Structure 1
């Protein structure tokens, strides 16, 4: 019984560290977030961060990963990404997208990024078609980004970002149109 409560306490500590890491990475990026700040936010000694997650790189990978088999988390993630892609693009994203069809390095960087997004999203989806739906979501968001920011389709002027994000989220993750 004592092992169970110790295991539960360890799991809660690991989760607090992971939650704190997500906040710190979101606020400061990988380079700006520090193990010390993550530990402080989680209310633990910095050595516990390393004990639970090994390295800053592994902690970042865990923090960036969506929860497994959690359709709600996947839907929220897709909605967040859509919202971000409908807003102005950061200069580095705009440069990468402009260059991905003409530069082998940019093409490779974009492909690697999108492959990781498909794997991450598909792990959160249930069903035999999880990878297919994840692929469609990632490709659909890429297409929306290109159509909005580079081709500047006129329909974007008539459809609200909220309506577009809701409909796209429902379509990408379930294959059904939103209500």
Structure 2
């Protein structure tokens, strides 16, 4: 016998469907090209429900593109190598949406800048030397550049890298951490 969902459970499931649809639509069309109607259609809901759950397209965008993982200073070098390896594979819809929109949407630029600053600060805290923040910013920015070159510019040299090749590159980046 199938249990009936409560009103709160149905509401949460609808909100999750809308957020998933928004991640896809923002990833495919960017912040400017995605529409509330497109998101609603993909989620199988009325457009008014999108606004009822999230308030505005901008608020939904900010939530849809926010990376879910939390980075601590422990394990940053391994995390960065893993991130680079993942960024050369398939991008999550939220990451694709943020990257597609960060140069055309002030809201996306703010989300991207805050995220990159967080990563820079965490990496810098694991490094020694007066220039640790600059070195961390260069590493974080390099990963961003590699991601753009691979997924949006289709740079052939990055298309078929193995994990070992990626590790060799990141080892040279991360060697000065100690």
Match of 1:65 in 2: 72
Q: Map of 1:37-76 to 2, 5 A cutoff?
A: 64-67=71-74, 73-76=75-78
Q: What's the offset of the Cα at 1:155?
A: 1.0
SS in 2 for 1:124: coil
Match of 2:155 in 1: 153
Contact 1:86–1:161 under 8 Å retained in 2:
no
More helix by share: 1
Match of 1:142 in 2: 144
Partner Cα separation in structure 1 for residue 160 and residue 83 of structure 2: 21
SS in 2 for 1:155: helix
Q: What's the offset of the Cα at 1:79?
A: 0.8
Stretches of structure 2 lacking an aligned partner (at least 5 in a row): 1-69
Contact 1:134–1:173 under 8 Å retained in 2:
no
Partner Cα separation in structure 2 for residue 173 and residue 132 of structure 1: 13
CA gap 1:89/1:158 in 2 versus in 1, 3 angstroms: closer
4+ residue segments displaced more than 4 Å: none
Match of 1:25 in 2: none
Match of 1:97 in 2: 99
Q: Does 1:133 align with 2:135?
A: yes
Match of 1:31 in 2: none
SS in 2 for 1:101: coil
Partner Cα separation in structure 2 for residue 74 and residue 92 of structure 1: 22
CA gap 1:65/1:74 in 2 versus in 1, 3 angstroms: closer
Q: Deviations over 1:116-139 (max 9, x none)?
A: 000011111222222122111100
Given the two structures, how large is their TM-score scaled by the length of structure 2?
0.55
Partner Cα separation in structure 2 for residue 83 and residue 131 of structure 1: 23
Stretches of structure 1 lacking an aligned partner (at least 5 in a row): 1-62, 68-72
Q: What's the offset of the Cα at 1:65?
A: 1.5
Q: Does 1:108 align with 2:110?
A: yes
What is the RMSD computed on CA atoms of the aligned residues? Answer: 1.8
Contact 1:100–1:106 under 8 Å retained in 2:
yes
SS in 2 for 1:64: coil
Partner Cα separation in structure 2 for residue 157 and residue 109 of structure 1: 27
Contact 1:133–1:172 under 8 Å retained in 2:
no
